[in-house]
Amino acid sequence: MPKSFKLSMLSLRIRIFLSMIVVIIVASILLASISIIQFKNEAKEYHKERLERKENAVREHINYVLSTTTYPLTTENLELIFKDRIHEIAHIHNSEINIYDLNGKLLKSSKESFSVDKVAPPIPKYILKLVRSSIEKRYVDIKTINGIKNRSSFTQIKDDKFKPLGVLNLPYQEDDGFYQKELNNFLIRLGQVYSFMLIVAFALAYFLSSYITKSLKTISDKLNETRLNQKNEKILLSASSKEINLLIRGYNQMVDELEKSAIKLAQSEREEAWREMAKQVAHEIKNPLTPMRLTVQSFQRRFNPDDPDIKQKMNDYSETLIQQIDTMNSVASAFSNFASMPAQQNETLNVVEVVELALDIFNENHIVFESDAPEIISKIDRTQLIRIITNLVKNAIQSIPEQQEYKMVSVLVKKEEENVLIIVQDNGIGIKTEDINRIFEPKFTTKSSGMGLGLGIIKNIIENYKGSISFDTEYGNGTRFTVSLPIINS
């Protein structure tokens, strides 16, 4: 399900641009709304004042008729007084006129088709009450019929002594056609003007937002290019905004701090590299020293001048020591040349023979060697292969507790497709589950002594020869390491 859109996802330039457009649109809507309200209020006032003017004119005309009539001024005579004159008055003022008695009964109307009879609707009592109670003795009733607003004015007719004679009614239907037409024309003109303004605002908002964010874009580009391991350039820019100038000053200070930090980091990395190299050199030198010590101890215990094979044993003893001395010499040479561990020399050799020779330095009786063929040829550095075997077997021996009765370290060499497999298995304590993923990490060790560089180093050696190393373990039952190296078909 797609994530909901958020305004914060937009760039500052786009947000400034959209904000300016929204302000203009909202302003146009507010102006249009105010204009509509203003037009409606003007129309309302116009109709109100027009009805009042018409009513005043009709009342003056009626008063004139009353003042010139020969009939006595009584309510009963109103029908006779305005029998012929009501149509004349209605025609002159272009308005419908109705005259009622004080009880609301219709006496005379200017409608041509209207006939006065008992069925004519009287004035509602609440209107009569409102007319009598008002100061001006006048009330305007407003009703909306079929969407058209109708005003109806009710006012008292009085004689020359201000005595009420009847009630004058002027119906008035509001015609908003003129105002509606004017309003439509105004809205059309307003829409045209604001459409043009909106186009101008789009361009202006775009350039203003680009101008405002230009400095920020420069700072953003510089920040994206900033790296700890390179020379970073300062921003040489004077912005018109105080806030942006503070941001530029902060960035330049950060560049200075980064440069200082980079110098310290480089120095620290060099020191760390020297420490790491010293640890590796110490580990690599310690590797051959251990088998040399074991070889000398074994020879010392088994030395017998009268042994008929003493000469052959001396040769084997010497060859083993020479191999380990060569290993130490290569480590020392590598260190003196500020290079990596001993350079790899590809030699075509019999893996079975080299592995068996590497196992001769171990005196433990529980080490068992097997091979499914007398000769498996591969191309690898003899010294490196001996280092791999020595490290794996030594780890296997050390993983078996001293107090354990049955001890077993098995070394198997076999051919599998285009690879030679060297399998070193023990029945030691195994590896804990939480340590499985860290077993090849530099400096990680589960032993009380050592620096934990052995497995990491031999893993690099094996992978440099396009081989692989893996292991299976069960805590409490032992571990099996499998080294796979490519072979040369004879």
Domains 73-173 and 344-486 share a fold: no
Q: Is 236 exposed, middle or buried (0-12, 13-18, 19+ CB in 10 A)?
A: exposed
| Model confidence pTM above 0.75 | no
Task: Name the fold adopted by 73-173.
Answer: Beta-Lactamase (3.30.450)
Q: Strand locations in 180-225, DSSP E?
A: none
Residues of the chain with pLDDT > 70: what percent?
77
d(C-alpha 391, C-alpha 290), whole Å: 10
Q: In what order do the strands lie in the sheet with 164-173?
A: 106-109, 98-100, 164-173, 148-158, 138-145
Sign of the C-alpha dihedral computed for residues 55, 60, 64 and 67 taken in this order: positive
d(C-alpha 399, C-alpha 396), whole Å: 5
Question: Is residue 448 over pLDDT 50?
Answer: no
d(C-alpha 169, C-alpha 86), whole Å: 12
Two tokens at 339? 């290079």
Q: Note the pLDDT of residue 163.
A: 87
Higher pLDDT, 335 or 39: 39
Dihedral, 462, 467, 472, 477 alpha carbons, nearest 10: -50
Mean pLDDT for 344-357 is 86
CB atoms within 10 A of CB 464: 12
List the alpha helices (DSSP H) in 77-236: 78-81, 85-93, 125-133, 177-225
Name the least confident of 16-20, 346-350, 354-358: 16-20
80-94, 310-324, 464-478 — most confident range: 464-478
Q: Residue 436 gets which letter from DSSP?
A: G
Higher pLDDT, 370 or 330: 370
Q: What is the pLDDT of residues 105-160, one digit of tens each?
A: 888 888 765 444 445 688 888 888 888 888 888 888 888 777 677 788 888 888 87
Higher pLDDT, 6 or 371: 371
Q: Which CATH architecture has domain 344-486?
A: 2-Layer Sandwich (3.30)
Count of helices and strands (H, E) across the chain: 10, 12
Q: Which of 393, 339, 331, 340 is nearest to 362 (CA)?
A: 393
Q: Reduce the DSSP state of residue 166 to 3 states and report it.
A: strand
Question: Is residue 412 over pLDDT 90?
Answer: yes
Give 98's contacts (C-beta < 8 A, 6+ positions apart): 106, 108, 109, 110, 168, 169, 170, 171
Q: Are 99 and 107 in contact (CB under 8 A)?
A: yes
Q: Note the pLDDT of residue 277.
A: 67
Q: What is the pLDDT of residues 24-81, one digit of tens each?
A: 788 878 877 887 787 777 777 777 787 788 888 888 888 888 888 888 888 888 888 8
Domain ranges of the chain: 10-68+176-225, 73-173, 344-486
